[in-house]
């Protein structure tokens, strides 16, 4: 950004210009040389080519400029068990020095609420949250060839829905929709990731899937939305997304089911969460959080995201940490109701 200098006032104007540019520039996280010559790894709990992978690579190209020392970034995919493998790596193996962060499925952070505690070698409350790149809306969709066009259709006949690991969002959301909206989804799980789920739909192995968002579909199947190839049965979100031609979940549930539904879809506030290991020092965490939020406002990142059809609606790490803590403070009665809904 340039500031014109008036003849005769060159020295004073230059000083003012320097102050103005410094004030308008995005904040650069200070690390007192800690990140000089270092590399930051982003562990992605899904396959390459997924929307989660896309967000991670997007961040890797822009976040370093906001950290003193300009560290390089490398993205490593660690798919499996609905990103639980990546979560356990971050919690138990990754260095706790600010050189490793991860992008996890939001369901990974919510699943221990209702699952067997012995299954999870991590505590979502203990993660060091950098923030989320997006707060999204999820959908249940079916292939047009399935003949299932609406929720009413899915209430009348059995509908095979593809899912990844038991306890993942693709499984939980289907069972949850059955419980509160009266659908007749039958979930077939075991698919490795979103790509395999979409292939199963194309092959006719499954009629559809629940819990995918528009960014995932736009990234992996850009010709699906708005072309008649899929039916959008219902959208799940705390607020209605007017851009999606799908009725909201709230149109189909009873008032008494709203509290458990709000707990379920609350995880979408952190739809693309980035975390660091538990117990990293306060200064690296401060640096990473500041750099993350600065990158999310970077015009170059936003331009790249638009080209990639990735939505950017960020929230900071402190807000996400507070929301996760609030979820894990829910009453036993509400958690039991949620468990009944997603663990039939």
Instruction: Spell 181-207 as b/e; 16+ CB within 10 A means b.
Output: bebebebebebebbbebbebbeeeebb
pLDDT at position 4 = 35
How far is the C-alpha of 31 from the C-alpha of 38, rounded, in Å?
Answer: 12
> Which pTM does this prediction carry?
0.78
Instruction: Supply the mean pLDDT for the chain.
Output: 89
pLDDT at 120: 94
pLDDT digits (tens, 9 = 90+) for 174-190: 999 999 999 999 999 99
Write down the pLDDT at residue 214.
Answer: 80
In sequence order, what are the residues at sequence separation of 6 or more whose Cβ sits closer than 8 angstroms to the Cβ of residue 19? none
Report the C-alpha gap between 163 and 87 in whole angstroms. Answer: 19
The pLDDT value recorded for residue 76 is 98
Contact 169, 106 (CB under 8 A): yes
Question: In whole angstroms, what separates CA 6 from the centre of its chain?
Answer: 50
Domains of the chain: 39-135+271-342 (3.40.190.150), 138-267 (3.40.190.10)
What is the tens place of the pLDDT at every residue in 77-135? 999 888 999 999 999 999 999 999 999 999 899 989 988 888 899 999 999 999 999 98
CA distance linking residue 108 with residue 202, whole number of Å: 27
Q: What is the per-residue pLDDT for 313? A: 93
Give the 3-state secondary structure of residue 247: coil
Buried b (16+ CB within 10 A) or exposed e, 298-327: beebbebbeeeebbbebbbbeebbebbeeb
Positions of the chain with pLDDT under 70: 1-32
pLDDT of residue 168: 84
CA distances from 248 to 127, 160, 218, 241, 261 (A): 31, 21, 20, 8, 12
CA 314 distance to own-chain centroid: 10
- The set of residues, in sequence order, having a beta carbon less than 8 Å from that of 299 and lying 6+ positions away, is none
Gap between the Cα atoms of 128 and 95, Å rounded: 13
Cα–Cα distance between 35 and 22 in angstroms, integer? 22
d(CA 191, CA 175): 17
69 close to 36: Cβ distance less than 8 angstroms:
yes
């Amino acid at each position: 950004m340039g500031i014109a200098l008036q003849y005769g006032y060159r020295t004073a104007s230059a000083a003012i210009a320097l102050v103005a540019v410094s004030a308008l520039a995005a904040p650069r996280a200070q690390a007192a040389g800690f990140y000089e010559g270092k590399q930051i790894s982003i562990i992605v709990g899904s396959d390459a080519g997924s929307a989660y992978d896309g967000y991670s690579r997007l961040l890797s190209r822009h976040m370093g400029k906001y950290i003193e020392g300009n560290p390089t970034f490398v993205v490593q995919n660690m798919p499996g068990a609905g990103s639980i493998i990546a979560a356990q790596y971050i919690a138990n193996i990754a260095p706790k020095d600010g050189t490793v962060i991860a992008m996890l499925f939001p369901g990974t952070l919510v699943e221990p609420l209702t699952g067997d505690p012995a299954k999870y070698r991590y505590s979502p409350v203990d993660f060091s949250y950098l923030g989320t790149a997006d707060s999204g809306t999820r959908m249940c969709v079916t292939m047009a060839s399935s003949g299932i066009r609406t929720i009413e259709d899915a209430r009348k006949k059995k509908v095979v829905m593809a899912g990844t690991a038991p306890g993942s969002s693709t499984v939980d959301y289907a069972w949850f929709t059955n419980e509160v909206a009266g659908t007749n989804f039958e979930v077939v799980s075991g698919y490795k990731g979103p790509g395999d789920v979409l292939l199963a739909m194309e092959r006719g192995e499954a009629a559809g899937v629940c819990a995918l968002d528009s960014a995932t579909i736009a990234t992996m199947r850009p010709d699906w939305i708005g072309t008649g190839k899929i039916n959008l049965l219902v959208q799940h979100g705390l607020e209605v997304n007017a851009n999606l031609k799908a009725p909201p979940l709230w149109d189909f549930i009873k008032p008494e089911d709203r509290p458990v539904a709000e707990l379920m879809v609350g995880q979408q506030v952190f739809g693309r969460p980035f975390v660091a290991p538990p117990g990293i020092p306060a200064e690296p965490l401060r640096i990473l959080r500041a750099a993350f939020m600065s990158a999310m406002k970077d015009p170059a990142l936003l331009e790249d995201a638009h080209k990639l059809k990735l939505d950017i609606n960020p929230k900071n790490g402190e807000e996400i940490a507070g929301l996760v803590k609030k979820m894990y403070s829910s009453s036993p009665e509400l958690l039991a109701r949620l468990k009944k809904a997603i663990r039939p």
